[in-house]
Amino acid sequence: MSLGSSTSQHYKVGIVGASGYTGVELLRLLAGHPYLDLVVATGDSKAGTAIADLYPSLAGHYKDQKFQAFEPEDFDGLDLAFIGLPHGLSMDVVPRLRGKVGKIIDLGSDFRLTDPELYPQWYGANHTHPELLGEFVYGLPELFRDQLIGAELIAATGCNAATSTLALTPFVDGGYVKPEGLIVDLKTGVSGAGRPPKETTTYCTVSDNVAPYAVLTHRHTPEIEQAITARTGTEVSVLFTPHLVPANRGILATCYAEPKEPMTSEQAIEILADFYHGEPFVVVNERVPTTKVTVGSNTVHMSARVDPRTGRLITMASLDNLMKGASGMAIQNANLALQLPEDSGLTTIGVYP
């Protein structure tokens, strides 16, 4: 597949909420991006703090720049804005930026669901700007690339939803599995909870511990169902259970489905490989995916098995939740929106050990 044409044009971008974990990853990626130039980085809780003081890992590039308080006027004339805020805050920021910047990519979940009635059910509050939901494109390039090229408003896919959706979609799309009762057992690193400390993410709580959370009520459940249904045209039901594990970053989704007809592990892997053939950020093979091999890359690793005893399909995917699951995904979406080479500023190579 084509990754786009080379260009010498540069685009001015800004970040709202640059002091969090997704923000620092965006800052790192933009430092090496050949076409995107950072103009403004806001972080209200860290306004006035030097980027290099909060994140010394970035000191080699951001020597003097400081986090700013959010002022919409600072984004006037920018080509693109990334929003990396906690849930509930983007929905009021987007209307203040729209018209000031060319394109907006929201890394949060405020605009991912198309049905406004799902927000009070899964997020506990009404959406304050439901009229905008239908204008956002869902930002999962491997499944919705055509809609993302040149898009003005993009809701970047969440890390949990991306891993689960990518693992299950090929089997639903081809009609290989029953669409009801899909099961996702997911393990996620602590950085997915964000930079501010919480009782459930302190060292003493997380260390030597594995804990399921939001059992039966996790807010990414309808996002997974919506994405698979939108891509395949088949309505699905998903039972999604995430677990917090003692790791900084990484996600592993182990998904289960019932095949409509008998299949082998070899056939299941072939289905995945055929579906994602030519995708620059997808690796499919017989190796069981692990989280560590994805660190620092924008690549999702996938494989599948069929249990000959029960006949059940197991489809697995791993990715770096801060890269392919957040900031790398946002950069990939930005490249498509600006019609740049899709792999600009991104790597398929992980950091190991």
Q: Which residues carry out catalysis?
A: 159
Phi, psi angles (nearest 5°) of residue 79: -80, -30
347: CB partners within 8 A, 6+ apart: 296, 297, 298
- Answer for the pair 186, 158: CB distance below 8 angstroms, yes or no: no
DSSP 191-241: GGG-SS--GGGSHHHHTT--EE-STTT-TTHHHHHHHHHHHHS----EEEE
Name the helix (H) or strand (E) containing 318. Answer: strand 313-319
At which residue do the structure tokens 């080379």 appear? Answer: 6
Q: Which candidate, 55, 24, 68, places its Cα nearest to that of 249?
A: 24
263: CB partners within 8 A, 6+ apart: 176, 306, 313
Rounded (to 5) percent helix, strand, coil in the chain: 35, 20, 45
Distance CA 34, CA 112 (A): 29
Name the helix (H) or strand (E) containing 146. Answer: helix 141-148
175: CB partners within 8 A, 6+ apart: 234, 260
Distance CA 333, CA 342 (A): 8
Q: What is the DSSP letter of 32?
A: T
Distance CA 234, CA 231 (A): 8
Residue 222 is which amino acid? Answer: P
